[in-house]
Structure 1
């Protein structure tokens, strides 16, 4: 909704009738606000992004996914008070968000949906980045809305009450999910409101190239109680008043991501559903378990190297984000940021879900116990949930010269969590297979 300004002549006609007091601002900015500036953004830590042949990675291939909190911006933590308002403002406070809509590689070109190019990849919400042929999509998880160039809002419903004031802390802002995908085109060098970083990172080479562009990919801004945002629905290409008001937090890939062009592998298919035979809570509490195998079909360049060291390709199985949050509260994280057990969707919140139980992994060929990947994106090796992609794999043939197909079998086991007792209920868990150059 765009607010319009009353006509001056109409205002003049009311002056002789009454003097109407101007509404006073009842929200105030408490933090410095410098987190809206380019070099102070909350980072999107994708780590190393690797592009290989379009045979292995066609357009649309997912290249990375992270979930971050605006509280991770420099100078903030989860308890930092950002804004303070009167209690009467509680029903009128919002997060307002958009891409960095004026910049060529910050959020101007919706490259995945054909903006700035003659090819529409059918990837709405993916905007051009400083990495060539890589688009990023940002999702505001509290509302489920994807960032666009046009300002959107989501009501803030979580806050702390202190006396007759409410405090909006960094922890009360929505988590943001960022996803990368391969796109077919690079953004044009002209046409956007800004081209601050010029050109793009290297498009080939044997090196690892850091994301040196400081331009953010998106912003989260506050509105309410006399603190105004740019109008909802306005284009962030030109609607950027928030920036000069230091009202918001930027999100960007600067320094926390890199790109390379190393020969690697991809996961072609995975058993979609892994089922366990029924088991009672009593049996689980006696130490009885249920196991089931699933298969991952892989294809690799013959130049790829399997392993967890630098420039080698590793495989990991990542828990769903909500399961990761539960694993943190249950003490199931490893020292390297991996997850020892996968718990069910709805664990601890849905009364129909079994508690005290989780799923563990083993490599079926060599018996090696495996951790799951978490979402910190900092772990390496087995404690982080990464394993040599071809460890225990068997060759299944070749579809194209220079490439080989493999099959990897993993055993999933349902059992009790360490130190817990099982309660009856359903188990319906979700995980993702990732293959990545380390």
Structure 2
């Protein structure tokens, strides 16, 4: 049977809601990576998967086939256990910056392979590149040395990890199949499992600024990814976290680095600190070095995490004492009425930051280090007419108009009595047992 005929059989099987065999999955992923299966054929299969789904065995095998398309990293030679975190992306999500050094301060190595921003979600590497001299690209040897000596590294993933995913991700982007949960889960987890970390904590965002808009969608994705990690022998848990409003008080590259430094100095916004600590507690437990929440918070306030941060930045060529870039132009957006800020939409703030120059529309676009949005009040805060709500930062004043347009209707101010204090940023927790039963445990 010719390879071309095989692929049509695979597409038909999934079109007709049949389960794909292990052999079919192994073959189609490998053949697509080699270029034997054409883009239009894989597009048809991706759409069939979006419409008809995959069961746990299929998704697990699909993920394993994507991992097998490339190399795997191995941290067995390190003296410390490893733990990693993956966020599904949001607005103002600078958590990786304080989290990696915080976890490393307790003797756990954190190999954080991160990406760049696209659209309204910021990229960790873009944020760190606002620090003068800092480099995202490291060799495997340099990464291992830094993990050994410093305990934390945040860098770009090498091209050798799950090359099938890189090809399929680009295809999904242009064929309306990005939303397929089996494909999202296998995309994220193939890279994370290939990274070779011993423990993985997933931060699955829920709300307007997140990829998953509803808690039901986010829980399905979290359960699928936790199952994939568990099946691959990686200790995996997920937290569902709120992304209806931006995290912290900044969205933008250098702005978010400044806020991360406040957290590492024992201050910073409550929501950012709480989420950083919650994820750190999970990572440390997964790596077999459990700490209580109080001890983790102490490592932020007593400077232990900041010490690791400074060594981590310096090891990658950055100057931890350098002045961070500041945008040349700024404009203030003010509140129109007295009352309580009852909502501030994360997506609108993310789009505004993107339009100001903090993000990119295509992978090759440059970003402005100083651009973004500073947030002066969060939902639950009392506000007065005329007070600053947001400060917009950019190097190009021509960008203000489109950023303001993105913010139209982005917040609501209600009467005093309707203002509820913002709840916990952590909505739920999904571990292996919860994923197997399909029930998260309420946080």
- TM-score class, shorter-chain normalisation, is under 0.3
TM-score normalized by structure 1?
0.25
Determine which structure has the larger helix proportion and give its number.
2
Task: Please say which structure displays the higher CA radius of gyration.
Answer: 1
TM-score normalized by structure 2?
0.25
